[in-house]
Amino acid sequence: MTDITAGGVSPPIRRVEFETAESKARLRRRYRSEARFKAYGIAALVVAAAFLFALLSSIVMRGIPGFFQHYLVADVLVDAAKIDPEGKGDAATLRAGDYTAVARAALAEAIPGVEGRQLKRELNGLLSSGAGDALREMVVADPSLVGQRVKAPLLLADEADVFLKTSGTKIRVISDTRGIATPSATTGEISILVGANDFADDVALVKAELKALADSIDETIARRKARGATVESLADLEREATELRRRHAAAATSERLDAKTASRLVAINGGLVKVKEMTPTLVKGEVIIPLKSTADAAPGTWEIRVYETPESNRNLNDRGLAFLEELKAKGLVESQFNFAFFTRGDSREAELAGIQGALVGSILTLLVTIGLCLPIGVLAAIYLEEFAPKNRITELIEININNLAAVPSIVFGLLGLAVFLNFFGMPRSAPLVGGLVLALLVLPTIIIASRAALKSVPPSIREAALGVGASKQQAVFHHVLPLAMPGIMTGTIIGMAHALGETAPLLMIGMIAFIVDVPSSLTQAATVLPVQIFLWSDLPEPAFKMKTAAAIIVLLAVLFLMNGLAIWLRKKFERRW
């Protein structure tokens, strides 16, 4: 600078025009680019928020039905012959009674007259294998109910439950029938002759469906060919498509119905018939709910019910669906809040599965974790922040802690597997080992948070304590640590929330076993909530998908509570020095 002025050479003065059209355009361009840049930032935040919203809303929508369960609320005859045939009346006998049989009897009463083993099995299949559990509790609590009629909720099986929770299948009812219908019998395989061509439209519809099916098979074949599938592997599909096209093109007016087309049922004379074959004026089929008589049914008194979703695309077949619709029409099906979800362990039956085992497992595991990593973490932080000499070893420890905080969690699982299980021979799947692994995992987090909390306590506190004659340790433990405690607690809660959501390392040490019992000790096999979520999410049943989402809601609720507590602590005890 001084050189230039000393040299006396002044830089040339450049005039900048702000009023020309060119510079105005340039300015506008710069402002536009400014606005654009700002908009990118807003857009990024909006996308992140939108993702969070999509995630939470999708989980909530899937999960809310998982908290409810459908029951058949029927008048149940608590039959002494099935429960307490010898009339002992003590709790053990009452507990051992055959309540499933009682529940089935109540169901048979609700839909009377069902014949045939197959049909009866389908009907009983609507009830869960634990249908009588609620009734058992009622009877054990009040033995005078034996021999009485009581209104009891009987748990429905998961297929029926899911069907009722989701939109199920669309049911189209054609009630303006034009002909007189005459059934040939009241049960078994029957035919129904109709005086007008009421089924002509449906036969045409079925033909259209067949064509649509053939087209979709052709599309699949084309797609597989594009992916390089061999001709032989597609032969079956091609045969099927050809057959469907033949049926579509055939002039024959008689059409067979199968599981791939919409199902059609005829409700007549108080019974229900599943159509297997139909012409415009005659249908043949199988009775699901027995007819009251073989009398002629006048036009309009009988109806055709079309279940639009083909049977093969549903979890509930036509018979089960027909029974369920009948129970629903009688007002016997009720949805109730599923308290058992919180009081049962895992189960293979979706409607009986609960999260209590996983919750208790999580609590036990976290107890071990916090019991280890809170004292160790705080003491380590005190050492590093207050006592550590500045030397190579301290530096090594610090680098180590920072690196450890970023090591993938699954590597901690490998550590647990190789060291705790294999080397020390600790029990597999135990909350003790899970807690140990998680403690090592969150230790760096707690050390870093505790150091920050200790650092935020001003040196004047230490100096004052030292000044009145306290030793260095007395100054730290009596004065600095209590003041840093809120910050340490906040960090610990956040660390625990992290540990609660952790899954991968626990899979490595075998906490993935299917465990029905609620764990009662630290060395018993257990599972934890996130692992339970992972296990359920792998199961194919839709009911388990709902349970998974419901368990996720519980997990997220606990996490939000923990984080809320941490924020509240921070706000309440935050001190500006």
Please tell me whether residue 450 binds other proteins under the rule CB under 8 A.
no
Interatomic CA distance for residues 303 and 267, integer angstroms = 5
Q: Which stretch binds other proteins (CB under 8 A): 104-112, 115-123, 273-281, 414-422?
A: 414-422
Q: Which stretch binds other proteins (CB under 8 A): 121-129, 258-266, 287-295, 416-424?
A: 416-424
Please tell me whether residue 503 binds other proteins under the rule CB under 8 A.
yes
CB under 8 Å, gap of 24 or more: what pairs does 240-249 form?
A: 241/214, 241/217, 244/210, 244/211, 244/213, 244/214, 244/217, 245/210, 245/211, 245/214, 247/207, 247/210, 248/207, 248/210, 248/211, 248/214
Q: Find the shortest distance in angstroms from Cβ 425 to other proteins.
A: 8
Please tell me whether residue 412 binds other proteins under the rule CB under 8 A.
yes
Task: List phi, psi (to 5°) of 19.
Answer: -100, -10
Q: Find the shortest distance in angstroms from Cβ 339 to other proteins.
A: 24
Q: Of the two residues 322 and 535, which places its CB atom closer to other proteins in the complex?
A: 535
Please tell me whether residue 44 binds other proteins under the rule CB under 8 A.
yes
How many residues of this chain interact with other proteins, rule: CB under 8 A? 89
DSSP category for residue 423:
I
Q: Find the shortest distance in angstroms from Cβ 12 to other proteins.
A: 18
Please tell me whether residue 23 binds other proteins under the rule CB under 8 A.
no
Residue whose entry in the numeric block shows the structure tokens 């064509």: 211
Please tell me whether residue 118 binds other proteins under the rule CB under 8 A.
no
3-state secondary structure of 268: strand
Binding residue for other proteins (CB under 8 A) from 28, 38, 178, 575? 38
Please tell me whether residue 561 binds other proteins under the rule CB under 8 A.
no
Task: List phi, psi (to 5°) of 238.
Answer: -65, -40
Of residues 64-103, those binding other proteins (CB under 8 A): none
Q: Find the shortest distance in angstroms from Cβ 526 to other proteins.
A: 14
Provide the token pair at 9. Answer: 């050479």
Binding residue for other proteins (CB under 8 A) from 24, 28, 149, 223? 223
Greatest Cα pair distance, the chain, in angstroms, is 124
Nearest Cα neighbor of 480 from 443, 509, 503, 455 is 455
Of residues 320-379, those binding other proteins (CB under 8 A): 375-377, 379
Interatomic CA distance for residues 285 and 188, integer angstroms = 9
Please tell me whether residue 382 binds other proteins under the rule CB under 8 A.
yes
At 164, the amino acid letter reads: L
Q: Find the shortest distance in angstroms from Cβ 227 to other proteins.
A: 6
Interatomic CA distance for residues 134 and 343, integer angstroms = 13
Q: Of the two residues 152 and 531, which places its CB atom closer to other proteins in the complex?
A: 531
Of residues 391-410, those binding other proteins (CB under 8 A): 396-397, 399-404, 406-410
Nearest Cα neighbor of 291 from 173, 189, 196, 195 is 189
Q: Find the shortest distance in angstroms from Cβ 261 to other proteins.
A: 24
Please tell me whether residue 415 binds other proteins under the rule CB under 8 A.
yes
Q: Find the shortest distance in angstroms from Cβ 372 to other proteins.
A: 9
Q: Find the shortest distance in angstroms from Cβ 31 to other proteins.
A: 7
Interatomic CA distance for residues 550 and 193, integer angstroms = 50
Question: Quick check: 252 and 227 in contact, CB under 8 A?
Answer: no
Q: Find the shortest distance in angstroms from Cβ 216 to other proteins.
A: 13
Q: Find the shortest distance in angstroms from Cβ 517 to other proteins.
A: 12
Q: Find the shortest distance in angstroms from Cβ 537 to other proteins.
A: 5
Binding residue for other proteins (CB under 8 A) from 25, 49, 185, 295? 49
Question: Quick check: 393 and 418 in contact, CB under 8 A?
Answer: no
Please tell me whether residue 216 binds other proteins under the rule CB under 8 A.
no
Nearest Cα neighbor of 58 from 549, 559, 533, 543 is 549
Binding residue for other proteins (CB under 8 A) from 59, 64, 171, 483? 59
Helix (H) or strand (E) segment spanning residue 194: strand 189-194
Binding residue for other proteins (CB under 8 A) from 306, 556, 565, 569? 556
Interatomic CA distance for residues 573 and 488, integer angstroms = 11
Of residues 417-446, those binding other proteins (CB under 8 A): 417-419, 422, 440, 443-444
Binding residue for other proteins (CB under 8 A) from 83, 533, 543, 546? 533
Provide the token pair at 290. Answer: 């027995």
Q: Of the two residues 335 and 456, which places its CB atom closer to other proteins in the complex?
A: 456
Residues contacting residue 430 through CB under 8 Å, at least 6 positions apart: 522, 523, 524, 525, 526
